[in-house]
Chain A
Amino acid sequence: MVTRRRFITASFQLALGLSLSAYLPPVRGKQLGTAPAAGSLEPNIYLKVLPNNEVHFWVKKAEMGQHVHTALTQIAMDELGADLKQVRVHMADTRSPFSNIFTGASWSIPGHWVPLRQLMANARFLLESAAAQIWQCPKEQCLAIAGEVVHQLGGQRLSFGELVSVARQLSAVDNAPLRPSKDYQYIGTNMGRLDTNQIVTGQAQYAADLSVDNMLCASIVHPPLPGYKLKGWDISRLKADPRLYKQVELVALENALAIVCQHQWPALVAKDKIDVVWESPTDTAVDDVWLQQQMEYALAQPGIVCRQQESVIQSSDAHTFSAEYYLPFVAHVPMEPPVALASVFENRAEVWAPTQTASQAQSEIAQFLNLDADNVVVHTTLIGGGFGRKLKNDFVMDAVRISQKLKRPIKLQWTRENDIKNGFLRPYGKDRVQVALDERGYPSNLDIKAASPSILAKTDHQHFKNGLDWSAVMGLRSIPYHVPNLRLSHQLIDLPQVNLVAWRGTFANHHCFAIESLMDELAYLARQDPLEYRLKLLQADTKVEHFLDSDIEIEHKKLKRVLTKVADMMQWKTRKQASQPGTGLGIACHCYDTHAYAAHIVEVEVAGQNIKVKKVACAFDVGVAINPDGVRAQLEGSIVFGLSSALYNEIHFENGAIRESNFHDHPVLRHHEMPEIDIHLFTDGDTPAGVGECGLPSVSPALTNAIFDASGIRVRSLPVKLV
């Protein structure tokens, strides 16, 4: 039946000449793939080649702006020898054979680099062998390139589609030789997102843009902090607007109150006219003072050692230095507030959501609804910014709960206030540093005790080893500088009162801020150039650090190379010597666990309390750049994200709730504050590093080191406050 709404929509689109399919609601029960399986070549779970010459490619990584669909397509189609024009890229849903649909930890590209190429090389082997069989020639004379297999002597060509029927009959191989890198057509080429055209014409569909038949829209009121129960609500203010009141329906959940309506706007308005009463799980009012008390208590505990080394060289003199470096709680604030569409039926459920963890969502939903996981389908939509926030499916479960109660499809739209006040945060953390210095001013003993809550469940045995939270010491245990006597430890803060999750690099940010600020402070005490001081402490070529049962390999020469390069980019030496009061340069570097190396120099002007970031330079060793422009985009984004958090971002707790609510009291970096950016990539390695996170941690200390250079004010706590 064509409803009036549909009719209006359709006529609009026709008038605009747009593709109607872009607006159609998601199709329920759609099987994997868009074409019948019969007659196609399906050599692995990523790939389907059709007789009509279409190549379908499934990815299990969510696209959230990191251009992962583009980069994975570049890798796969280069190895296969396809033409990108024939390729259709699909986001796998939970019906697909992929075991864990998860996106995070900067691991999508490093994790796919070898296995994906091997699978595609095996598939190419079948297509080339099929051509060899048809042409009755040795396979070595057949090469797949740009969607065809070409006879290297005779020049005959057969398209992939024409080869499918023969290739299907051949036995699979599992170790076909990989294509030599000199033959790459796509890897190493600058590409935008494959769907950029849809984005700039407003046709790209995010979860909020979807609708299904019989759907209702919802908003939601959350408790101030986790653990609260819904006790009651007062709707007198809502009733004062009878027209609004009769449009909405309230749905009580155990720990939230939902407002449901035919349309989104009344649900959002009604939400602010309801006074909800909560039952607190505890008498403790969580506030900033209480949280700092927890921090101090933790730092007074012995902690668990994550790395220790001792040398016979003991410091003989009494030169010591101590300091504390602090990072606050911060929110992610992606431009797309959390949103999810859930259809819960008698014995199955289907969900569309911008989740970084679709498989996790599937099991959470199945458990909640008491269904087999096979009867729960989760579609990962485009993600309008993730940064770690959308690793959590709390907003998805909200939509599922409402849909279960009403037995109708529900699209739940969180507001920005829901996002900031009731979402998940990156934890706060403090590193307490004590150093003994030798006669030249270099550290002979270094003791860092870190304290923070965990982003993991204690039942996560993969990451908790011997009581130590592996994720909480990322960037700490891998400290690259040579110190003869070293003791690094961490003390966990038990904090069930606050919802916590990863945030682009998470604790690498805390520890990089501490270590790189420290290096700057020690260089100043030693009256040495901060760059030279660092280079002195990076002597060995490759250093292998032992951590529990795994080794971390840090290539000092790579770290030295990015430091030296970024210094050249900013004429560090000459400009440091000629620096004027009120202007400053600061340097910092970072090596991430995914074998990427970053160095930043920030140039600032400081006048009173005003800080102007004039320029940021970044040298970055990515090993292999699949999409160099995409790597640059991630580094540009890291600079903006890093400056935002260093200058502005902080979540405060008062009276058992989060104070901040929207962009007026939670500012982020805006366009007019944008510094000039200069980026250099090193791409001469043999493995691509993950790039989503490594470019972030050293931005903050480079900034605060620059502020010190300009003003003499040492910032040891973020966000920066000059008083």
Chain B
Amino acid sequence: MATITVNNQPIEVDDNDQTPLLWLVREKLQLTGTKFGCGQGLCGACTLLVNDSAVRACITPVSSVLGQSITTIEGLSEQGEHPLQKAWLEHRVPQCGYCQSGQIMSAAALLKVDAHPNRETIKSHMTGNICRCGTYSRITDAIESVVQSDLTER
């Protein structure tokens, strides 16, 4: 047995478990905010953080993240007060909503490596996350507003 940390809670796992992380969080931990979209790492609906990097949980075996720290949308903040979540509300981003946890987690990973990305950087970083409803421009605006308010507070 080995341990991984999910949203700051230690979880015991089989150290040879090939199950993708997606199904561990969705089924065993009942953290269903992380979504199944394509099963091939192509659409980004299952994006979560491993340490501080965005990872496609549908193609990431549990055994490949032993000892590491995983953050799902449910663990991003206590009550939805993460700046990105607030910006998503303010810009009224979601339409059907299904891809949005993955979008937010990808954006969170971006801001961890680059606190002040410009519009083009935001767009190219977010391009792994598909939205069929067409919320892309609001996502850009929402992320940019977080960047702007961080710059203003400096």
Contacts and interface: CB of A to CB of B under 8 A. Distances in A.
B94 A193 contact: yes
B20 A265 contact: yes
Interface stretch (A166-174, A479-487, A637-645): A637-645
Contacts, number: 209
A205 B32 contact: yes
B95 to A, nearest CB: 3
B9 to A, nearest CB: 6
Interface string A530-556: 000000000000000000000000000
Contacts of B128: 670
A141 to B, nearest CB: 38
A663 B130 contact: yes
Nearest to A10: B30
Contacts of B8: 15
B41 to A, nearest CB: 10
A12 B100 CA distance: 22
A670 B134 CA distance: 9
A199 B100 contact: yes
Interface stretch (A31-39, A369-377, A382-390, A393-401): A382-390
The CB with the most chain A CB atoms within 10 A, among B36, B45, B100, is that of B36
Contact of B38 (A200, A383, A416): A416
Contact of B133 (A197, A268, A385): A385
Interface in B77-131: 77-80, 85, 88-89, 92-101, 104, 123-124, 126-131
A84 to B, nearest CB: 15
B54 to A, nearest CB: 13
Given A335-B37, A416-B40, A639 B95 contact: no
A385 B32 contact: no
A204 B74 CA distance: 11
A202 B74 contact: yes
Contacts of A192: 89, 92, 94
Interface in B1-41: 6-9, 19-20, 23, 26-40
Interface in A156-202: 190-193, 195-197, 199-202
A208 B58 CA distance: 15
B23 A263 contact: yes
B31 A12 contact: yes
A335 B37 CA distance: 6
Nearest to A67: B95
B45 A335 contact: yes
A202 B32 contact: yes
B44 to A, nearest CB: 9
A101 to B, nearest CB: 18
Contact of A335 (B43, B74, B76, B127): B43
Interface residues of B, number: 65
A673 B134 CA distance: 12
Given A15-B9, A333-B132, A200 B99 contact: no
A641 B95 CA distance: 13
A641 B132 contact: yes
Given A9-B29, A416-B40, A668-B130, A335 B135 contact: no
B74 A16 contact: yes
A334 interface: yes
A656 to B, nearest CB: 24
Contact of B132 (A5, A195, A204, A334): A334
Given A265-B23, A385-B132, A202 B34 contact: yes
Given A671-B129, A672-B124, A385 B96 contact: yes
A675 to B, nearest CB: 9
B67 interface: no
B97 A65 contact: yes
Contacts of B126: 671-672
A195 B92 CA distance: 11
Contacts of B138: 633, 636
* For the complex of A and B, 5 pairs with smallest distance between CB atoms: A202-B33, A640-B134, A384-B98, A65-B96, A65-B95
9 contacts: A15-B9, A199-B100, A201-B79, A387-B132, A629-B92, A633-B95, A639-B134, A640-B132, A644-B132
Given A664-B40, A671-B124, 15 more contacts: A9-B30, A195-B97, A199-B100, A200-B94, A200-B101, A205-B32, A263-B23, A334-B96, A334-B132, A335-B131, A416-B40, A633-B138, A663-B42, A669-B136, A672-B124
Interface of B: 6-9, 19-20, 23, 26-40, 42-43, 45, 72-80, 85, 88-89, 92-101, 104, 123-124, 126-140
